[in-house]
Structure 1
């Protein structure tokens, strides 16, 4: 069986890897280089145990700020775009406790499966991707926000996650670089076994390994159209020629809806624009964190990747806008200075923006769609959890393609906590 995977981000490459491992012939098509889209400068956190969807009941209280505040980390810019309005209304409908809890349970199960697949891939390929397992602190500055986080922790604990609420003093014991921020903190959620890795390096390593193992890549090739035969796709026409296959996987991230529309499908996927900077870290101890840190109020994440610190955040519903406003980059620098004043940015902070493909509920779209071609499978809509979920959804897609009905419990797949050391 020949499978054509459309998309060479982390989701598409994970799909290609898993399918090739199953003995299938695979071709990967992308208009750019591997990892050049939303994967390239993401937050670098592998959040296997902390997957709370953006669609949360607390969003309702934040709506005035989302619509009116210029410096809000979550920003909505209404446009004359029917897709944006459909997505926004569906998102608000999902902002309730029942949907949030259901999404959390499914995301935890996918994340647990993804951890197993990702770490098996690392062992198989021995990729140099600055992988570490030093845990994560999600820091809160208000007692109300910490209490809400506690309720989420209780929910996730029932589903098998190993987490705890910790005091500001304990935060500093776990991550001494937070000492300057201790007075501002109400507490944090600590997850001891969370990981981090450079997603762009993973994409580059997967590309090289798959190429060496016989996977075909058609890169720098824009998809121009789709040829159909009855209820099936026959080929995609690209600027590099025609690519035929028996099965097709749509893993184009935020570009997925445009191609799906040509096939009669309307996907509830909309880009959530995010930003990042990457800083070289000084040798002085306790200036930059080793534990991954998330500032819940600012919606900013900090992850150590080798000798660098990745700082990423914000979520904007502004359409396909690839501009990088200086104010957004300055905001990330200000957040870094607030939490880690010893991290002095150099002249080049490597500003980046990417379009995270998000669904209203936060659950990715995986597998066949009733109204689509019978040999088309989706693997898109991962939002900010693309790196975390990629190998889980790839395995789920492979199971569906090969006719396997694999039922796994989240609790059985969730790993035991690891020691608080880098690996």
Structure 2
């Protein structure tokens, strides 16, 4: 249930292991949070959003219209419960434990994704040009150095670099070097077009006999003796021996109909995509993250993807012009010669997030026995998809 990158990666892994698979979704493959995401495969940048540093930012989160992180309370008990659980997770111990878990899962996911790319040769503008995370102040850079030392113990190969070294790594930053205190460089980080991956997986899985029921809403689930018998949809009942819930931010609603709660709530994000300037040093080829603005820049072949924001504001899919203007302002500040024009292809997506930042994978004590979960990846859906898919396949095989 779900045809985003997480659902499709799961379908790929299950079909690869010889299972007969049906994928059902009310939209086309990759149309949800996968379609216009930040495009970065951030295998070494997985620190949960819930961190002890959030406490000092709370006034800005609640009040500032320009904050890249935004919280707007609604009359929604699920949002309040999620928010309180998030604040409880905002401590150093939980953040370090979550980082360790996510790094291990990201390493496994990298192996699965790159094995799939080598085997299937999907066209997805894949690149392995590394990533620079820029810090505007010495204090924020010092915090990043401490995180670097923590992650180094778990096998991450990263280094702190000076502004001058940033320009050597990515010449398009020459205009902006005076505005940063330094950066963390990870040479092994990658980028790819997630929508193209979804479309490629859809085509090859369909050719291998996977059944796709698209444009179809799941309306109910039929149960018997503690198990799911069928998913009821607009196109009729879909029977199966096992079901995988990978509906992203909609997972909570379906779980509620089955009598259990999932701590998954949408974190809304935005992106723009435009044709990059061709001149040397005009548009970046290395992936770049502006830590202060919470904006990422990723090269996708001849295009640039600029993405950011994390809003806890409900399920609306509107795209406020102010958010697109903010992404454009960040692009002009860092890369004034990148080629950004009028055709920006603005996009919004709802990332399915848990309070701790850890996805919900496998069986649930209160769920039907033949239901497996694969949801709650937050901003790391593309990064973690093939790792959690492997975990679900193992759980089913076991």
Aligned pair 1:319/2:314, yes or no? yes
- 1:345 CA drift (Å): 2.1
- 1:111 CA drift (Å): 0.3
Partner SS for 1:116: helix
Partner SS for 1:152: helix
Equivalent residue number for residue 24 of structure 2: 29
Q: Which of the numbers 238, 245, 254 marks the counterpart of 1:243?
A: 238
Q: Which runs of 4+ in 1 moved over 6 A?
A: none
Equivalent residue number for residue 293 of structure 1: 288
1:184-223 alignment, distance < 5 Å: 184-223=179-218
Partner SS for 2:176: helix
Deviations 1:232-262 (A, max 9, x none): 0000010111100000000000000000001
1:273-422 alignment, distance < 5 Å: 273-403=268-398
Aligned pair 1:123/2:118, yes or no? yes
Contact 1:337 1:344 (8 Å CA) reproduced: no
Q: How many residue pairs are counted as aligned between the two chains? A: 398
Aligned pair 1:132/2:127, yes or no? yes
Q: Could you list the runs of 5+ residues in structure 2 that have no partner in the other structure? A: none
Aligned pair 1:13/2:8, yes or no? yes
Distance 2:260 2:282 in 1: 49
Give the alignment's TM-score, normalised by structure 2. Answer: 0.99
Equivalent residue number for residue 409 of structure 1: none
Q: Could you list the runs of 5+ residues in structure 1 that have no partner in the other structure? A: 1-5, 404-423
- 1:265 CA drift (Å): 1.2
Deviations 1:29-61 (A, max 9, x none): 000000000000000000011111101111011
Partner SS for 2:238: strand
Distance 1:170 1:16 in 2: 43
Q: Which of the numbers 147, 152, 157 marks the counterpart of 1:162?
A: 157
Distance 1:234 1:18 in 2: 23
Deviations 1:106-127 (A, max 9, x none): 0000000000000011011110
- 1:346 CA drift (Å): 1.9
Deviations 1:265-313 (A, max 9, x none): 1100000000000010111111111000000000000000010000000
1:80-95 alignment, distance < 5 Å: 80-95=75-90
Equivalent residue number for residue 48 of structure 1: 43
Contact 2:284 2:338 (8 Å CA) reproduced: no
Contact 2:283 2:339 (8 Å CA) reproduced: no
- 1:401 CA drift (Å): 1.3
Q: CA RMSD, aligned part only?
A: 0.5
